[in-house]
């Protein structure tokens, strides 16, 4: 499908052109076209016998840090090979066009940064970073540390990926910024997320309460669909460039 074939209602084009402040929320669907498997789809090969929800927890890491580190190393290998797609690029372009723009993401792959987005709020952390499992500070593993997991160069505790695990709190500042962006925007664009995981799923509802136009981009129906003012039913790599092109092309 060419981006010119994406049907965008005139009233949505006008709403976007007039918006002073836009907030975006992305989920793993936006990276699917970059070849990054979604959280649950990611289980192939050796890893099929593990439930990701059982691996992405502090309890799993305490029980078997080697296994959990290996799993993340394997996921990171996929991500390192991935490049941003046209959906990521359209969001970066939107940021350049709109007076105020914030992009809240649940993705840990860093592809929005690579696409050129600047005001990115990472709610679930970033798989490319490591932190000390004892003190929580972000650290670079030592080059010569081949441990699985490597050790904190300061205190000797295991390092862990800087991502939010099930049962853990989200980063306080990122969460506050995300809610502020949702409450302050004229238009809220939710793309590639199932809208099932809290508290991210509350952001569009918060924006709606504050009077924003809600736009959803997803090939499938989600719990957000019934609240959305506009639904672009399709893949982010087609719908997002189609939307940006319709408003600014």
In whole angstroms, what is the distance from residue 229 CA to residue 151 CA? 49
* Token pair for 229: 């003012």
| CB nearer ligand OAD, residue 33 or residue 186 | 33
27 binds ligand OAD (CB under 6 A): yes
The dihedral through the CA atoms of 54, 56, 59, 61 has a sign that is positive
Select the span of 114-122, 132-140, 154-162, 191-199 touching ligand OAD (CB under 6 A).
Answer: 191-199
* SS3 letters across 206-218: HHHHCCCEEEEEC
Which of 92, 124, 158, 214 is close enough to bind ligand OAD by CB under 6 A?
Answer: 124
Q: Are 43 and 207 in contact (CB under 8 A)?
A: no
126 binds ligand OAD (CB under 6 A): no
Select the span of 1-9, 67-75, 112-120, 194-202 touching ligand OAD (CB under 6 A).
Answer: 194-202
Q: Are 160 and 168 in contact (CB under 8 A)?
A: no
Residues annotated as catalytic are: 124
236 binds ligand OAD (CB under 6 A): yes
| CB nearer ligand OAD, residue 9 or residue 199 | 199
* Token pair for 243: 């939307």
* Token pair for 44: 């192939």
What are the residues binding ligand OAD (CB under 6 A)? 27-29, 32-33, 38-40, 56, 106, 124, 164, 192-194, 196-197, 217-220, 222, 235-236
């Amino acid at each position: 499908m060419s981006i010119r074939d994406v049907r965008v209602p005139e009233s949505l084009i006008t709403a976007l052109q007039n918006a002073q402040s836009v907030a975006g929320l992305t989920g793993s669907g936006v990276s699917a076209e970059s070849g990054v498997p979604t959280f649950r789809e990611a289980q192939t090969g050796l890893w099929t016998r593990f439930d990701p929800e059982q691996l992405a927890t502090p309890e799993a890491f305490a029980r078997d840090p080697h296994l959990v580190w290996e799993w993340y190393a394997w996921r990171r290998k996929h991500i390192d090979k991935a490049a941003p797609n046209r959906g990521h690029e359209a969001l970066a372009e939107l940021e350049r066009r709109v007076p105020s723009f914030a992009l809240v993401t649940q993705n840990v792959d860093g592809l929005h940064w690579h696409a050129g987005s600047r005001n990115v709020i990472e709610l679930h952390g970033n798989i490319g970073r490591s932190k000390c499992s004892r003190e929580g500070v972000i650290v670079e593993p030592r080059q010569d540390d081949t441990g699985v997991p490597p050790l904190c160069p300061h205190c000797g505790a295991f390092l862990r990926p800087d991502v939010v695990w099930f049962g853990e709190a989200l980063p306080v500042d990122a969460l506050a910024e995300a809610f502020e962006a949702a409450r302050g925007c004229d238009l809220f664009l939710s793309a590639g997320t199932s809208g099932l995981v809290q508290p991210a799923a509350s952001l569009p509802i918060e924006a709606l309460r504050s009077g924003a136009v809600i736009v959803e981009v997803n090939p499938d129906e989600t719990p957000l669909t019934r609240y959305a003012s506009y639904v672009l039913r399709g893949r982010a790599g087609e719908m997002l460039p189609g939307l940006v092109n319709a408003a600014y092309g």
